[in-house]
Structure 1
Amino acid sequence: MSDALSHELTAAVTGTADQAPPPSTLGLAGEQLSPEEAAYARASKADATVAAYRADWREFCDWCTREGHSPAPAPPAAVSGYLATLARAGAKVSTMSRRMAAIRFFHSVQDLPDPTSPARVTTVWEGIRRTHGAPPEQARPLMPPQLFDLVAATATVRAFRSRPPEPDLAGARDRAMLLVGFFSALRCSELCALTVDNVLPHERGRTLVIASSKTNQRGEQTELVVLPFASHPDACPVRALDTWLELSGITEGPVLRRVSTGNRVAAAPLHRGSVNRRITDLAARAGHGEHGYSPHSLRAGFVTWAHLRGASDREIAAQTRHRSLASVGTYVRVETAWLANAATNMGL
């Protein structure tokens, strides 16, 4: 690959030319990406993934500079030494795995050999995993009654000095965010990406069409999620969603959006950081701030609550779209370990 093509491809995918790795000198000279090719190159990775890779690559380059290694092409000693440094500093195995993925990615866009595949690296990596491996941290499930405490903590009326009181749009949005997020069991990225066109009417509620997901990144399969009516109006995700859309006047585009301090709806959708702040603030307001709820707590809460209500793993996976039933089980083990367990019925 030529210097120009390597630099442009990396810049197209990462969104910046300044942070591109040292270009390769392999391949044809003078070839460049067209605007159309550059657009497809950028679409090859999710924005969040690219942002994480960019930060990881920058750190690896800084480490290589300090240690006297070339970051691209990186010798096996650089990768294994970098992993050992991270492990010594207490980095999580999941973090180191992502750093390796970033290194592979930036080498692949330059048509350079994968520096994480030599035996030196794989042996060190396996040793790190065996020595420092630990179960992944799981989000604390947010489910009834705590969920409804957060819903009740949302604001309903906004008072102003210069105009009459109005329905609090941020509060209406937050109620929709919490209830739709819980009942749909969507991942946070999917919830933020939901558009009006993705919400289809149904006699029993709404059907959500998920264009792409973590396990369906290319959208090759249509994924459907049900959003049912709930018997209690204050706990109904459909009613909360319809109320938010009506009050906000949203008829197209993103469903969950930012709301200004002046109680006006913006065009920009919420992102994970925004959802995290809203859940954190509402949890504190509801008196549950110590639990450390996160955006993933809604999905984890659905799985745990459904299991406690007697749903099978297969029924839960039909909503969460987990491909492995074992993955469903990881959500509920801590919360349900004391239920229906032979150790609690020993009679001793």
Structure 2
Amino acid sequence: MDGVPLTSSETEYVEAARAANTMRGYRSDWREFTTWCTEHDLEPMPAAPATVTGYLSDLARAGAKVGTMSRRLSAIKFAHQLRNHPDPTRNARVVAVWEGIRRTHGAPPDQATPLMPPELFDVLDACPVTKAWRTPGRQDEPDLAGARDRALILVGFVAALRRSELAALTLDQVAAHPNGLVLTLARSKTNPTGEHVELVVLPRAANPARCPVVALNHWIQLAGITDGPVFRAVGKNNQPATRALHPESVNTLVQKAVARAGIDPGPYSAHSLRAGFVTYAHLRGASDRAIAHQTRHRSLATLGTYVRVHQAWTDNAATILGL
């Protein structure tokens, strides 16, 4: 940038260079930082290196996770770059304090608990099928929310989709195939600019009750969806909304579905579906390359973070001590 303030249109394009979820996070993190600065009578823009290190130190002492602090630093960096100010996070003082915090407080990142069989089947079975009405004279109906949740969970698991991809899926991205369905994803976390099309398959399952194709088609037919978003909110009147689910709503629906099955929802999230696919496919003997073909991971090494816990028990002498 050349010192000339960005126009509103230019600012919109700069923000569009990052995912919507990222921008929401940046705005939230920047508000947190500016609030802290106000409380300490410090200037947030441009921020002095001592301001940033003081903020980081307070966060670390309060028990903030390294990942959270890293995201806050990214927000501070982005805000300064957007206004053509020097990046305070690159200052030697900030770099030294940040390295010390990471060494002192660093911990492995939290991993979503994989949702996979047999728990996955329990969650599917707990999805309501029939909507019973207390209103006199009103007949029972198929439960649309239950049908949506079943489709959401099966598609999320078998297609190994991220919650943002589930929320953004539209009907024109779903195509029939002799073996099932093919999902065409124009954009994703690893393909943010849509430079290439990503294809994800949904094969038919032998058991219709566990088939993503059957579940998705059933939901689409019940909800009367002819175009637009595939996964939508369902009102108390058992009617679908026209708007797409928010990615956070996908997270909430997965946790509620897990709770309905009598399982503690705490360790689970929407990412548990993707993690469950990777872990279960690995346990079933699939190669890393075959798994990455569906998950669209660019690095095979990344897949190891999903299956490391299960691998630790394989061929391990500690399991045969006979104690």
Alignment TM-score > 0.5, same fold: yes
Structure 1 segment 202-281 matched on structure 2, within 5 A: 202-281=177-256
Decide whether the 8 Å contact of 1:140 with 1:291 is kept in 2. Answer: no
Write the deviation string for residues 1-43 of structure 1: whole angstroms up to 9, x where unpaired: 8xxxxxxxxxxxxxxxxxxxxxxxx8347x7435xx4553442
Q: Does 1:43 align with 2:43?
A: no
- Which of the numbers 84, 91, 105 marks the counterpart of 2:78? 105
Q: SS of the counterpart of 1:141? A: coil
2:119 to 146, 157, 176: 146
User: Residue 227 of structure 2 aligns to a residue in which SS?
Assistant: coil
Residue number in structure 2 paired with 1:63: 36
Q: Describe the SS at the equivalent of 1:294.
A: coil
CA–CA distance in 2 between the matches of 1:263 and 1:135?
Answer: 43
Q: Is the 8 A contact 2:163 2:251 kept in 1?
A: no
Aligned to 1:294: 269
Q: Which residue of 2 aligns with 1:124?
A: 97
Secondary structure of residue in 2 paired with 1:289: coil
Tell me if 1:27 matches 2:6: no
Seen in structure 2, the aligned counterparts of structure 1 residues 28 and 277 have a Cα distance that, compared at 3 Å, is closer
Deviation at 1:286, TM superposition (A): 1.0
2:255–2:265 CA contact under 8 A, matched in 1: no
Structure 1 residues without counterparts, runs of 5 or longer: 2-25
Secondary structure class of the residue paired with 1:116: helix
Q: What letter is aligned with 2:149? A: D
1:178 aligns with 2:132: no
Moved over 6 A (4+): 345-348
Cα distance, 1:335 vs structure 2: 2.4
Structure 2: how far apart are the matches of 1:137 and 1:95?
Answer: 12
Contact kept? 1:182, 1:302, Cα under 8 Å:
yes
Query: Is the CA contact 1:258–1:265 (under 8 Å) kept in the aligned structure 2?
Result: yes
Q: Which has the higher contact order (CA 8 A, sep 6+)?
A: 2
* Partner residue in 2 for 1:15: none
Distance in 1, matches of 2:141 and 2:322, equals 60
Structure-2 separation of matches of 1:245 and 1:235: 16
Separation in structure 1 between the aligned mates of residue 160 and residue 287 of structure 2, nearest angstrom: 15
Aligned residue pair count: 321
Q: Counterparts of 1:293 and 1:214 in 2: how far apart (Å)? A: 21
Query: 2:199 is paired with a residue of what secondary structure?
Result: strand
Q: Deviation string for 1:52-95 (max 9, x for gaps)?
A: 11111111112112223211111111111111111111100000
Contact 1:185–1:302 (CA under 8 A) maintained in structure 2: yes
Post-superposition Cα deviations, 1:182-236, rounded to whole Å, max 9, x if no partner, equal 0000111111111111112211111111111112111112111111111100000
* Distance in 1 of aligned mates of 2:246 and 2:322: 51
Deviation at 1:258, TM superposition (A): 0.2
Q: TM-score, normalised by structure 1?
A: 0.87
Alignment counterpart, residue 195 of structure 1, candidates 167, 170, 174: 170
Per-residue deviation at 1:312? 1.1
Counterpart AA for 1:155: P
CA distance in 1 between partners of 2:131 and 2:291 (Å): 38
Which residue matches 2:302?
327
Contact 1:211 1:223 (C-alpha < 8 Å) held by counterparts: yes
Q: Structure 2: which amino acid aligns with 1:27? A: G
8 Å Cα contact 2:229-2:244 kept in structure 1: yes
CA RMSD of the aligned region, Å?
2.0
Q: Which residue of 2 aligns with 1:21?
A: none
Counterpart residue number, 1:19? none
1:242 is displaced (CA, Å) by 0.4
Q: Distance in 2 between matches of 1:339 and 1:291?
A: 27
